[in-house]
Amino acid sequence: MSAPLVHVRDLEVRFVTRDATVHAVNGVSFDLAERESLCILGESGSGKSVTLRALMGLNPPRRTKLSGTVRVGGHDILAASERRLADIRGGTVSMIFQEPMTALDPVFTIGRQIAETVMRHEGLSRASADARALELLELVQIPSAKRRLAAYPHELSGGLRQRAMIAIALSCRPKLLLADEPTTALDATVQIQILLLLRRLQQEMGMGVIFVTHDLGVAGEIADRVAVMYAGKFIEEGPVRSLMRAPLHPYAQGLLGATVHSGMRGERLTTIPGAPPNLERVPKGCAFAPRCALVEEACLPAVPTFRSPFPGHAARCVRVRDAA
C-alpha cells in the first residue's frame, strides 16, 4: 500500500497573541490520494484557509502554534525547518491565492516572477527559465504569451492575473496544488474559465488538489470529495454527489439551503440564524449547537464523533445513524 499524498491527523492551529489565543483549527484529520481533489467548504473564519496554509507551513511563524501530524509527499511538515520547508514549497506543493492583484509583486514582471521560481527549484539558467515561463503562460492559455511575459501585474485583467498566478504555482510541476478561494475575486464568467482550466491541468499533470471555497458551485464543479468545515473542525465529509444531494449535518443542510440554484423560483432561501462561535474559547460540545434548530441534550456534553450511514460519507452529528 502506498502512502497517501497528504496525511493529516489531529491538526490543531492556534494563533497566540498577547491578548488572546485563537483556536483556528481544532483537530482536523484527512487523507488525500494522488490525483484526488478535495474541496473544503466553509464560511469565513471557519479555519479552512488556515488548514490549507498549515499544509505548507505558511502561517505566520512567530504567532502560530501547530500540533498533530501533517505529511505531504512523505515530508513531515510540522517538523521541517524553515530551510527545508522552502525546498518543499513551490517544488512539491504550491498554492494559488484568492486575490491575484495583491498576491503578485507589483513591481516585477510576470515572466520574472515565474522564472525566479524555476531558477530557485530547478537551478536553470536565466534563459531556460524564461523559456519555461513562456511555455507555462501558454499552458494556462494566456493569449499573446510572449508579450505578457514582460507585463506587470497591473497591466493584466483579473482573469489573466489569476492565470499567471496558476502558471507560477505550476512552474515546478508540484504533486499537490492548494487553491485558496481561487475564483472568489473574479467575475462569474471568468470563474468558470479558471475552474475548467484548473480541472484540465489537474488531469493532465496528475496533481492532487485541495480547494478551499465558500462557493458550493465551485465545489460541485471540481471536487471528488467535499469536506465541510465549521469552527475549526471538519463536520461532514463525503463524495461530492452524495454530499450535495443529501447533506447529513444540519449546518451542511443550512449551507445548501442558503444557496440559489435552478428550479427554485418563488421559493424562499433559508438562512442559518446566528453567527459562528468566537474561537478564543473552544466550545465543549457541538460548536453548531447554539444555532441548530434540531439541538438536543446529547449535543452539549462532548463533540459528537463522526458517524457514517454510508461508506465514505460521515458527519459529526448525534442525529446521524451510524451504520458501521
Partner 1 sequence: MLLYLIRRVLYAVPIALAVGLVCFMLVQIAPGDPINAIVPADAPQEVVEQVRRDYGLDKPLPVQFGLWLGRVVQGDLGRSLATGRPVTADLVPAVANTLTLALVAAGIGFVLGTLLGTVAAVFRGSLLDKAAVGLAAAGVSVPHYWLGMVMVVLFSVTLNWLPAMGAGPGGSGAWAWDWAHAQFLVLPAVTLSVIPMGIVTRTVRGVVMELLNQDFVTTLRGKGLRRGGIALHVVKNAAPSVLAVMGLQLGYLMGGSILVETVFSWPGTGFLLNSAIFQRDLPVLQGTILVLAIFFVALNLVVDLVQTALDPRIRRA
Nearer to partner 1, 26 or 113 (CB): 113
The reply on whether position 259 binds partner 1 by CB under 8 A is no
The DSSP bridge pattern shows strands 233-239 and 313-315 to be antiparallel
- Tell the residue number behind the cell numbers 493529516, with chain if given: 8
- Tell the residue number behind the cell numbers 492532487, with chain if given: 208
Answer for which of 11, 13, 104, 256 binds partner 1 (CB under 8 A) is 104
Question: Residue 245 is placed in which grid cell?
Answer: 444531494
The reply on whether position 58 binds partner 1 by CB under 8 A is yes
Neighbours of 279 (CB within 10 A): 22
Question: Residue 49 is placed in which grid cell?
Answer: 484557509
Answer for which of 1, 107, 293, 324 binds partner 1 (CB under 8 A) is 107
**List of E strands, the chain:** 6-16, 21-32, 37-41, 64-72, 75-76, 93-96, 176-180, 208-213, 225-230, 233-239, 307-310, 313-315
Nearer to partner 1, 83 or 245 (CB): 83
Residue 323, SS3 per DSSP: coil
Nearer to partner 1, 150 or 323 (CB): 150
Question: Residue 292 is placed in which grid cell?
Answer: 441548530
| Min CB(149)–partner 1 separation in Å | 14
Nearer to partner 1, 18 or 245 (CB): 18
In this chain, which stretch among 67-75, 87-95, 125-133, 291-299 interacts with partner 1, using CB under 8 A?
Answer: 87-95
Nearer to partner 1, 174 or 283 (CB): 174
Answer for which of 5, 8, 22, 56 binds partner 1 (CB under 8 A) is 56
In this chain, which stretch among 20-28, 88-96, 230-238, 248-256 interacts with partner 1, using CB under 8 A?
Answer: 88-96
Q: How far apart are CA 241 and CA 220, in angstroms?
A: 8
In this chain, which stretch among 3-11, 79-87, 218-226, 228-236 interacts with partner 1, using CB under 8 A?
Answer: 79-87
| Min CB(177)–partner 1 separation in Å | 11
Q: In the beta sheet, which residues pair with residue 70? A: 8
Answer for which of 99, 138, 215, 224 binds partner 1 (CB under 8 A) is 99
| Min CB(170)–partner 1 separation in Å | 11
Nearer to partner 1, 121 or 313 (CB): 121
The reply on whether position 83 binds partner 1 by CB under 8 A is yes
Per the CB < 8 A criterion, the answer to whether 197 and 163 are in contact is: yes
The secondary structure element, H or E, covering residue 222 is helix 216-222
Residue 196, SS3 per DSSP: helix
Question: Residue 75 is placed in which grid cell?
Answer: 515530508
Nearer to partner 1, 99 or 215 (CB): 99
Nearer to partner 1, 23 or 89 (CB): 89
Residue 35, SS3 per DSSP: coil
Nearer to partner 1, 1 or 107 (CB): 107
CA atoms within 13 A on the CB side of 155: 10
Site residues (CB under 8 A) for partner 1, limited to 114-173: 116-117, 120-121, 152, 154-155, 165, 168
First to last CA, the chain: 23
Question: What radius of gyration do the chain's Cα atoms show?
Answer: 20
The reply on whether position 97 binds partner 1 by CB under 8 A is yes
Q: How many residues bind partner 1 (CB under 8 A)?
A: 29
Q: Binding residues for partner 1, per CB under 8 A?
A: 56, 58, 83, 86-91, 94-95, 97, 99, 102-108, 116-117, 120-121, 152, 154-155, 165, 168
